[in-house]
């Protein structure tokens, strides 16, 4: 099955197609997500190099974190974020159900203690809950963690014949595996500094009725059909890092729908702070962040050391959505209004055909 381009987000329209999230961080981060005006005035969200989208963080301001005190896993998110570091969280106006989501990155946030960046999709309606964390890492983690989170009892099968990711986690259910979800780990070049050193690359997500798959292609190994950007044929791309298949009680098309595209750079929070600050972020990270930074808490370190976050940014070339036909499954996010499938060419053509048939019928009877 071939897929055709239906939506393009790039330097010509990116900030018109995404909204800025400004509420308190739901994952308890030491962060202030700022609005569009603040982000653009302070350079946290801007166009650079003529045609690239920059999404970054405040890497200048030294914050006055109270006494360098330790924040525990149970502390209230509102009180933590009062003096949090400024950052951005952008969410797409358009949502989608099925298709191929292709994101081309020149740079992603580097592997640094205190950060928790992510590129992910999520159903805000939570009807049911369905989330895919495509790029996600915490602290000085080596290699990307791809994760799925569901309200249904979904399970990922460890199958080296259909996927290449390692450290397979099988339980996707929020009820039984809230933090980790199911998923796989990618090789070192899928995240942070190694990803950037190869000139970035392309992340591809495939959502179909019964399949969900994720690939990462380094800059020098991007498939020709993605480079040409016309019709995509994922069956020719080789094994993905992750391949989830529908099973009894968990169908992909029912569990992942109305997906919003999200970019954010968090600090500390549930995954990078608390007890995680005192543990190594991955098997390839030799020390905990508490040991390597000599700070007793994530928040104290983030507050006092803005310059270390100068490479904590996304540099996006484009994000593209492809679907197998003119999409009735791609529509505007209901929270932002605007036109959905009724504006599609297929819908308009149908009404034109009906109108002409009525006119012909009327003329026939007059004659």
Catalytic center residues: 131, 136
Q: Strand 89-96 vs strand 166-169: parallel, antiparallel, or unpaired? A: unpaired
Is the distance from CB of 255 to CB of 93 less than 8 angstroms?
no
d(CA 190, CA 185): 9
Q: E strand or H helix at 254, and its extent?
A: helix 252-255
Task: List C-alpha distances in Å: 120 to 91, 148, 149, 188.
Answer: 10, 10, 11, 19
Residue whose entry in the numeric block shows the structure tokens 């780990």: 185
The strand ranges marked E within the chain are 3-9, 18-20, 31-33, 45-48, 52-55, 85-87, 89-96, 99-107, 115-123, 130-136, 145-150, 166-169, 182-185, 201-207, 211-218, 231-232, 242-245, 259-267, 314-323, 330-332
Strands 85-87 and 31-33, bridge-based pairing: parallel
Give the Cα separation of 164 and 184 in Å (integer). 9
CA distance 190 to 173: 25
For tokens 């109108």, the residue is 355
**To the nearest 5 percent, what fractions of the chain are helix, strand and coil?**
25, 35, 40
Cα 227 from Cα 205, distance rounded (Å)? 16
Q: CA-CA distance, 216 to 280, in Å (whole number)? A: 25
CA 304 to each of CA 30, 209, 277, 301, 360: distance values in angstroms, whole numbers, following the listed order: 12, 48, 16, 5, 75
Q: Are 283 and 140 in contact (CB under 8 A)?
A: no
């Amino acid at each position: 099955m071939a897929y055709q381009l239906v939506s393009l987000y790039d330097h010509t329209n990116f900030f018109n197609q995404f909204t800025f999230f400004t509420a308190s961080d739901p994952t308890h981060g030491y962060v202030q997500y700022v609005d569009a005006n603040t982000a653009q005035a302070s350079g946290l969200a801007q166009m650079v190099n003529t045609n690239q989208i920059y999404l970054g963080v405040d890497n200048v301001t030294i914050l006055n974190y109270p006494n360098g005190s330790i924040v525990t896993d149970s502390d209230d998110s509102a009180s933590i974020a009062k003096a949090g570091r400024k950052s951005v969280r952008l969410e797409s106006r358009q949502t989608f159900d099925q298709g191929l989501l292709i994101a081309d990155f020149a740079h992603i946030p580097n592997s640094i203690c205190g950060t928790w960046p992510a590129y992910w999709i999520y159903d805000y309606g939570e009807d049911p809950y369905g989330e895919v964390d495509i790029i996600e890492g915490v602290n000085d983690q080596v290699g990307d963690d791809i994760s799925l989170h569901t309200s249904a009892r979904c399970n990922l099968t460890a199958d080296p014949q259909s996927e290449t990711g390692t450290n397979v986690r099988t339980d996707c259910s929020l009820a039984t595996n809230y933090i980790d979800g199911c998923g796989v780990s990618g090789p070192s070049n899928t995240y942070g500094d190694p990803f950037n050193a190869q000139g970035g690359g392309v992340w591809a997500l495939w959502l179909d009725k019964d399949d969900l798959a994720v690939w990462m292609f380094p800059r020098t190994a991007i498939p020709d059909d993605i480079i040409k950007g016309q019709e995509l044929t994922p069956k020719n791309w080789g094994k993905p890092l992750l391949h989830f298949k529908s099973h009894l009680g968990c169908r992909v098309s029912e569990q992942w729908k109305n997906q919003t595209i999200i970019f954010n750079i968090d600090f500390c929070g549930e995954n990078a702070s608390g007890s995680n600050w005192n543990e190594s972020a991955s098997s390839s990270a030799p020390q905990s962040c508490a040991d390597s930074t000599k700070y007793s808490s994530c928040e104290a370190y983030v507050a006092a050391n803005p310059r270390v976050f100068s490479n904590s940014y996304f540099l996006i070339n484009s994000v593209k959505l492809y679907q197998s036909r003119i999409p009735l499954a791609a529509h505007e996010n209901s929270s932002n209004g605007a036109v959905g499938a009724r504006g599609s060419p297929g819908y308009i053509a149908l009404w034109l055909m009906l109108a002409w048939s009525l006119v012909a019928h009327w003329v026939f009877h007059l004659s």
